Structure 1
Amino acid sequence: MSLGVMLVDRNAERGQLLEQALADAGYRIILRTSDDSNLIADVAKHQPDVIVIDMEAPGRDTLEQMREIGRNHPKPIILFSDQRDSDYIRQAVQAGVSAYVVDGLQRERVMPIVEVAVARFAAFQTLKRELDETKIQLADRKIIEKAKGILIQKKHMNEDQAYQFLRNTAMSHNTKLVEVARMLISLER
């Protein structure tokens, strides 16, 4: 299955070259537009797998839209630009750009650039998901530790007894250990 690409380019001639290079590399162009003012709506409507933006220097509004896409509709974004300013490049990457290409557009480079951007995006999403899961696990562990502390203090249990009490209660009520811990904490307030 080929990836669906949304292509944004204000320059018709350059856009045609990029569209042909993408098609030759096996990608489907699902939307080609010269208007970058509706990026968020276009992404929501067309659901591309990859977004390719080719323009001299996308403005602040475009960067903000890319940031919002990264938050709400994460997609690999490839930006071909003439802007070489390191601060601007940093802003683009913070806005969610997976690949920032400065040295012009050459047909033979398009496929590897897209493949690297997609792979880099997937790796980043995996890391982000793992980080989110780790944060949840840490927060759950803190709640369980707090509940054990309450049991140790109020019921004069040792740490192992407190944990076994929480665990057995969770099992007998067919619920998660952290939910039992939350309930115990809320009853103590």
Structure 2
Amino acid sequence: MKAEARPNHLRLVIVLPVALSAEPDEAEVAEAERTRVLRIALLEAGYNVVATLPGDRFLPERIAQIQPDMIVVDAESQGRDILEHVVMATRDERRPIVMFSDDEDTSHVRRAIAAGVSAYVAAGVPSDHVRPVIEVAMARFEHEEQLRRELADARSQLEERKVVDRAKGLLMSRQGLSEQEAYARLRKAAMDKGIRLAEVAQRLIDAADLLG
């Protein structure tokens, strides 16, 4: 007996290798059935599947229009091909990606993870375990995004410190101030103008470069 689905506000898009042709062959029919099983499993788990899209060159535009919370890739060996389209679709606005595959060749798993896949399931579609896979993928994605923000903040702070140090050096060399006096003057100017210390420092540097 399946567990009762809990309400979930995540909007998911399923991406598959190709759309069915007018006269689908056996492989296409099997792929369509896999996608149907996956979609049902996601719906039974309480997720909102807003679209099923082919992994073609138009995928980035469709993703930008739909704005899903997560992308679920359903593919076999062709997954290596559509992964490029999925990565392009999430390049400017990152989203968690979950990839389900029946392909026994796992040599490209590292490449998939490096490309931004949050979870890679090589055992096909685990109907009874879809929710844990999705939740783990979302948690991992959010953790990685937090680390990215912290790293970006640290780099920004380092760059600002370099700008302030350079501005202090200019004041010290050109006006004979001590380091504390130079810093105090920059800080006062920032408070008087209501702007950040690094911005005052950058303006001073720009003015000094202009005057030579």
TM range (shorter): over 0.9
CA apart distance, 1:127? 0.9
1:63 to 83, 94, 101: 83
Structure 1 ranges of 4+ moved more than 6 A = none
1:6-31 deviations in Å (ceiling 9; x for gaps): 01235111111101110110001100
RMSD: 1.6
Any conservation in 2 of the 1:69–1:75 contact (CA below 8 Å)?
no
CA apart distance, 1:74? 1.1
Q: Which runs of 5+ in 2 are unaligned?
A: 1-7, 18-30
1:157-181 deviations in Å (ceiling 9; x for gaps): 1111110000001111121111110
User: What does residue 85 of structure 1 align with?
Assistant: 106
CA apart distance, 1:146? 0.5
Partner amino acid, structure 1, of 2:55: D
User: What does residue 203 of structure 2 align with?
Assistant: 183
Aligned: 1:74 with 2:94: yes
Q: Which runs of 5+ in 1 are unaligned?
A: none
Kindly tell me the number of residue pairs found equivalent between the two proteins: 187
User: What does residue 153 of structure 1 align with?
Assistant: 173
Q: When the two structures are superposed, what TM-score results if normalisation uses the length of structure 2? A: 0.83
Larger Rg: 2
CA apart distance, 1:93? 1.4
Q: When the two structures are superposed, what TM-score results if normalisation uses the length of structure 1? A: 0.92
CA apart distance, 1:61? 4.9
1:122-137 equivalent positions in 2, closer than 5 A? 122-137=142-157
Identify if the C-alpha distance between structure 1 residues 40 and 91 changes in structure 2 by more than 3 Å, giving closer, same or farther.
same
User: What does residue 7 of structure 1 align with?
Assistant: 14
Partner amino acid, structure 2, of 1:6: V
Aligned: 1:162 with 2:182: yes
Corresponding residue SS for 1:72: coil
Identify if the C-alpha distance between structure 1 residues 174 and 184 changes in structure 2 by more than 3 Å, giving closer, same or farther.
same
User: What does residue 70 of structure 2 align with?
Assistant: 50
1:140 to 160, 171, 174: 160
Q: Aligned equivalents of 2:43 and 2:71: distance in 1?
A: 14
Q: Identity of counterpart residues, as a percentage?
A: 40
Identify if the C-alpha distance between structure 1 residues 94 and 58 changes in structure 2 by more than 3 Å, giving closer, same or farther.
farther
CA apart distance, 1:109? 1.6
